[in-house]
Amino acid sequence: MLDEPLQDRAARLNDRYRHHAAVEVLRRAVNDPDLGRVTLVSSFGAESVVLLHMVSIAAPGLPVLFIDTQMLFPETLEYQAEVAAKLGLTNVQVVRASDAEIARNDPDGTLHQFNTDACCDFRKTIPLERELSKFDAWITGRKRFQGGQRTELEFFEPEEPSRLRINPLAHWRAQDVQEYMIENRLPRHPLVAKGYPSIGCAPCTSPVKPGEDPRAGRWRGSAKTECGIHFIGGKMVRGKVPA
């Protein structure tokens, strides 16, 4: 029923999956005809390995979109290769801006210094949207405990005009994430041990002090809290995707 209004479909799916655990939400969702073509979008960041592990068990051939902004920490690129190999993920697709887009928007690599939204838009949002246009739903690792706009997350949410987002870990606590990684002996991102509980691009991510919010190191010193790929309802308007 992919022609059903998104709000109605999300509500029906949330009702259907309301009492399912995260693993079951993901396992069933990747094969649910009401969701159509599904992909996982992963940053291969601090907690990404949890969903990647679940996918490796439920559907190792599922498309995994990895956004390479070309400003990531070297440790993230190494970790991405390590995790994909260890978990046997066979369909990791690297998403990045084209050389022409970089030459046009940020030829000297300094855009982030004076316009972080514009930098995120052309390095993350537009390239990702180009790939997501091929899918009917995408899996995210967002969780309510991360706060901000995420506090009311449900398993399924509409993304106008024609796509759903799946948040299998929406109801997990921080300790649930850590316990899952320990129980399954999953490799940790090397920067976590160096004080980076949330990891983005190198120029815009800093270590977090004890007692600070885990995302305090993202765009420190600014009001920015999201890169833009997770905004709904006009909080950040996606640019037109070049053909």
Q: Is 156 helix (H, G, I), strand (E, B) or coil?
A: strand
Q: Is the peptide bond before 127 cis (omega within 30 degrees of 0)?
A: no
Query: CA-to-CA distance for 243 and 95, rounded, in angstroms?
Result: 15
Query: CA-to-CA distance for 226 and 149, rounded, in angstroms?
Result: 9
Verify whether residue 227 is a known catalytic residue.
Answer: yes
Query: CA-to-CA distance for 235 and 215, rounded, in angstroms?
Result: 19
Tell me how crowded residue 88 is: count the other CB atoms within 10 A of its CB: 10
* Active-site residue, selected from the candidate residues 119, 201, 204, 227: 227
Query: CA-to-CA distance for 63 and 139, rounded, in angstroms?
Result: 11
Residue appearing with tokens 């905004």: 231
Name every residue whose Cβ is closer than 8 Å to that of residue 194 and which is 6 or more positions away in sequence: 207
- Note the Cα 71 to chain centre separation in Å: 17
- Residue 163 bridge partners (DSSP): 159
Amino acid at 239: G
CA separation (Å) from 202 to 24, 53, 101, 226, 235?
A: 34, 25, 20, 15, 24
Positions marked catalytic: 227
